[in-house]
Amino acid sequence: MITSHPHHYPRIIYTYLQYDELFSIHPYYIITTLFKICGVIETKDFIDTLEHKNKEAWLTTYFEHYPAENINEKVVAQLLDHISQLTQITAVPNDLNLLDKYQPFHTDLYLIITKYLYAKSKQDMRFLEPVARLFHQNKIYNQLLVYYKNDSEIIYQCYLAILNYNSYFDDDGQLLKNLLENNPAFFYTVLDSILQKPTRLSYDTKIPCLKFLWDKDNYIQDIEQYALYIYQKDQSYFGGIFHKLFIHNKNEKTDNLAKKQHNFITQTIINNIDNDEYILFIIGVLDCLSEDEKLNILLVLLEYNQNIKLFKKIRFSRLPQSWSGSLVPHLEKEKQFLLKILPYLNKITLLNHKAYIEELISHKEQEIEREKKRDFVNMVYY
């Protein structure tokens, strides 16, 4: 019908739209066909005459597929006017890369449209989804500066808004790493935004990966500032997100990284040796380290601080949250670690510490015996 009677096509579409609430087909084919039959100007005039619930989405499709060779300043002005008046989420462009073909006619096009969408996100955060996709595709800050060179602040505003909306945003931390190169203070703005979340933060809380901090020249100073900031806010509530710095997959934990982690923990303990609560906060990362690493850190602590009250507050091991089979192997592992500590506690200044560890070992042995009996009962009766 289109081939034999193309002049009837607009009237057919007009009739179709009377029933579109039932069909709601995607306008791509209709718009591109109208381009071929009527031309781009007549297609815009036709869409403008419609009174239809999906009119905004049709106009967005029109601009998405507008032929690059026909673009001029007037068309760009129409695009800006359309985006500024959007009210429907379904009409938001899926991808801001559509602006590339319009950019030569308005160098601030990305900036202006991003500001429109950012303003609309105050009512519905979904308006920022195309901006989030643009940021994901352009993780290098200098690439984003091409789009936002006349007002780079909008990048930081959108980053915070998107992160608050979507906790998986920038999960590898690469965009944040690049943003901090130009604005180091933004780190604590992001951190405050994370800490203000109403839910309890833990190892499992989704935040941008901050392991790039280990790559910095001043990593000890920068990570200590980060640790102190978290600690001063509320170490019992927020400690888990700091400890994420020490959680690695097997292939991530290089010898160089292990050395840096040991250097940091050692130095921050020495720097804050009289702050028992902060030391306990830092010692909380022991669960993320190997037994040899844990032992070395404990020996550093004992070298500089022999406070028995502090020592008794340390959790030397933590049972897994879940396990299968007998608990005895886990308890035996804890006991063996305590036995490793004992030979280093023979100094006069550490006799109380030795007695405490011996007491823990005794308790652990009793616990092991109870578990063995429980295992036997379960085996016999179940």
- Check residue 323 and report its DSSP letter: -
What does the pLDDT read at residue 23? 61
What does the pLDDT read at residue 136? 87
pLDDT digit string (tens) for 282-301? 988 888 888 899 999 999 99
Say how far apart CA 300 and CA 304 lie, in whole Å: 7
Across residues 197-210, what is the average pLDDT? 78
Buried b (16+ CB within 10 A) or exposed e, 3-27: eeeeeebbeebeeebeebeeeeeeb
- Show the beta-strand stretches assigned E in 135-212: none
Whether 203 has a pLDDT exceeding 90, the answer reads no
Q: How many CB atoms lie within 10 A of CB 162?
A: 21
Residue 238 · residue 251 · CB < 8 Å:
no
pLDDT top residue among 344 and 138: 344
| Diameter of the chain measured on Cα atoms | 103
What does the pLDDT read at residue 1? 55
Radius of gyration of the chain (CA): 31
Residue 110 · residue 76 · CB < 8 Å:
no
Helices 55-64 & 28-38, crossing angle to 10 degrees? 60
What does the pLDDT read at residue 297? 93
Interacting residues of 57 by C-beta distance below 8 A, sequence separation 6+: 27, 88, 90, 91
Say how far apart CA 266 and CA 274 lie, in whole Å: 14
Average pLDDT, the chain: 87
What does the pLDDT read at residue 144? 86
Most confident of 61-70, 135-144, 235-244: 61-70
Say how far apart CA 62 and CA 70 lie, in whole Å: 13
Interacting residues of 58 by C-beta distance below 8 A, sequence separation 6+: 27, 30, 31, 47, 50, 52
pLDDT digit string (tens) for 15-46? 777 776 666 677 888 888 888 888 899 989 88
What does the pLDDT read at residue 186? 96
Whether 12 has a pLDDT exceeding 90, the answer reads no
Residue 101 · residue 139 · CB < 8 Å:
no
Say how far apart CA 335 and CA 333 lie, in whole Å: 5
Across residues 215-242, what is the average pLDDT? 84
